[in-house]
Structure 1
Amino acid sequence: MDKLLDAIFTDYFFVSYLSKGNIFLTSSIFLITTTLLKLAEDWFYFNNNENQVLKLQNQQIQTQLSALRAQINPHFLFNSLNVIYAMALEKKENITSAIVELSDVLRYVIYDSDTERVTVKDEIKLLQNYIAFQKYRRHSENRINLNIDVENENFKIYPMLLLPLLENAYKYGFSGTDTTEDISIKLEQKASKFSFKIQNKNYKAQHNLDDNYSGVGLDNLKNNLNLVYPNQHQFEIKETTESFTVTIEITDEY
């Protein structure tokens, strides 16, 4: 300690005999050191609190997403079981194939989609499986125009964003009597951008149908997008008496 003091204050004998310059230097070093220690303590404190807040917010978001997803799955399962039930009553020969196709769709909806992100390839496969399954309950003459332009099949998106829109299109886009009606779907992915557009006839408006689920389903989708893609998406609905169009655009560097 003496050697350190000798190196800093070469002409001191007792602390009381320090020159004014050395006293100022000692005080400055002390003040700077204590200030830095205080700032470091505050930084660690606030950084820890911020991490706790972010962790809590993330947990809340995941809880909300799980709740929203839970509202979608039972509805899809209910509709699918109705299809199988109707086929069983009619004793259709292809009911076995329908059950296998349904199991593939439900496995994805219930299990495979229970993750933070899925590939565009998986979501496309889900749509294709759903369309194939719906042929058992709808007129096969009804056309689904699925236009896909994907640059990277492994591009990741939040799961189950698209299926609710396809469900609504089937429900309100086909009258049940006209076998030449279309549902048009355009799915694109380039670089960090993903877009999905689906258009169908608007029999809900034409026949004044009142269905609470339709509104709930779209609200769920909006909530999902707001939670997962804040300031990174556009969600647009265009409705006329003739058609119903929904467009989703996402920009994500995930």
Structure 2
Amino acid sequence: MPKSINKKVLRIHLLVWFLFIIWETVITNLLYDMSAPVINYVVHYSITIALFYLQSDIVLPWLGKRKGKWLWIPLFCVIFLLTYILAHWVGEIFLTHLLGKPVKPFYGMTWQSFLRNGYRGLFFIGFSTGYYYLYSFIAERRHAQELEKQQLLAIISQQQTQRELDLMQNAFLKAQINPHFLFNILNYIHFQSIKSAPQISEAVTRLASVMRFAFDIGDAEETVRLGDELDQIEDVKYLHSLRKNTGTLALNYELAVCDLRLIPLVLLTLAENCFKHGDLAQTNAQMELFLADNQLHIRTWNKIAKAKPAISTHTGLANLSKRLQTVYDRNYEFTYGPDGDGGFSVQLKIALELTLKPVSSTTTNTGTTVLP
């Protein structure tokens, strides 16, 4: 059933009906030498076209949805033929009075006209039925093609996803191989320099420890023990102490914080920020961790260096802020920026209850505001 007809389809329908009416009119005039006023053709063909679409667009779709539709078809054919004959008879009555023609008995209704209109009714029943099933076939075919297209797109999408998974798997395998190779090299350097250059050997050991911690957290839980990350900061402090004319990071913390858990690399990110952007030659940077008001407090401070670091993306604290937002929603406070006295301070406060166990990305909102 055509539920909606666009302009292109409408033009095709009008053209087909126009050609059919011209063809039938010409054939009738040539074979039977019959002609009639234009209004006569308009009335009778209007009735025929209306009944044609009444059947194809309304009656047949309605029959198609009913149970035992094949039992309804004979009754429908009889009703349609009687309707067709009656409609054209009413049209003839209308034309008789409109054109002032002599009134015939029963307005020209005879057995001959009855059978003639019955034959034409069967003729248009066939055309209308054929049109309905042809249109339905085309619509179902298009629907099937659309489903096939969607299935094909789904298969392509699935293949692309599988390809991406394969690439990620390969990258993961490479990530497993490369650190293994790197640690072997560091281990070799350590043993080769342990006697001749013990300081270098110690530096390599500390570097390997920090790197192994960073690599291993990818397989760890969502949070890490703060005590383990504090140990890595001690290694980072040692590595930075190898440089001449530089200070260090004064690390102060309560022992109670060591068993608390936090998302990984928070402390290392803050320490790196102090070492990279701080002027530690004049004043040591500071980091402190303590508990107060049922919250874990983490603070850092460093004097701002006048010279900018050679390599800096300026995204460390911004990325940390996004990570905190993703995991802790609004259950924390994170502020950082210049303090107005030539220093740069960072402060993180997080509810103590969230540091006692691993967290998920859907935590309860307590209404604490995240500061930029």
TM-score by length of 1: 0.55
Q: 2: CA distance between counterparts of 1:151 and 1:184?
A: 19
RMSD over aligned Cα atoms: 3.2
Secondary structure of the 1:145 match is: strand
Q: 2: CA distance between counterparts of 1:195 and 1:123?
A: 16
Q: 2: CA distance between counterparts of 1:149 and 1:191?
A: 15
Question: Structure 1 pair 200/152, CA: closer, same or farther in 2 (3 Å)?
Answer: closer
Bigger helix share: 2
2:318 alignment partner in structure 1: 219
What letter corresponds to residue 250 of structure 2 in structure 1?
N
Matched-pair identity in % = 24
1:133 Cα shift? Answer: 1.9
Secondary structure of the 1:96 match is: helix
Secondary structure of the 1:215 match is: coil
What letter corresponds to residue 120 of structure 1 in structure 2?
L
1:238 matched to 2:340? The reply is: no
Bigger strand share: 1
1:235 Cα shift? Answer: 0.6
1:117 Cα shift? Answer: 0.9
1:192 Cα shift? Answer: 5.2
2:225 alignment partner in structure 1: 119
1:102 matched to 2:236? The reply is: no
1:137 Cα shift? Answer: 2.5
1:123 Cα shift? Answer: 1.7
**Which structure exhibits the higher relative contact order, with contacts defined as CA atoms closer than 8 Å and separated by 6 or more residues?**
1
8 Å contact from structure 1 (residues 145, 182) kept in 2: yes
Equivalent positions of 1:19-30 (< 5 A) are none
Equivalent positions of 1:9-48 (< 5 A) are none
2:259 alignment partner in structure 1: 154
TM-score by length of 2: 0.39
8 Å contact from structure 2 (residues 276, 309) kept in 1: no
8 Å contact from structure 1 (residues 151, 191) kept in 2: no
Deviations 1:89-128 (A, max 9, x none): xx96511111011111111111146421111211211211
8 Å contact from structure 1 (residues 150, 187) kept in 2: no
Count of residues paired in the alignment? 163
What letter corresponds to residue 125 of structure 1 in structure 2?
D
Secondary structure of the 1:106 match is: helix
2:241 alignment partner in structure 1: 135
**Structure with max Cα Rg:** 2
What letter corresponds to residue 185 of structure 1 in structure 2?
M
1:144 Cα shift? Answer: 2.4
Q: 1: CA distance between counterparts of 2:288 and 2:257?
A: 16
1:187 alignment partner in structure 2: 289
Question: Structure 1 pair 200/139, CA: closer, same or farther in 2 (3 Å)?
Answer: same
* Aligned residue among 348, 353, 361 for 1:248: 348
Question: Structure 1 pair 107/191, CA: closer, same or farther in 2 (3 Å)?
Answer: farther
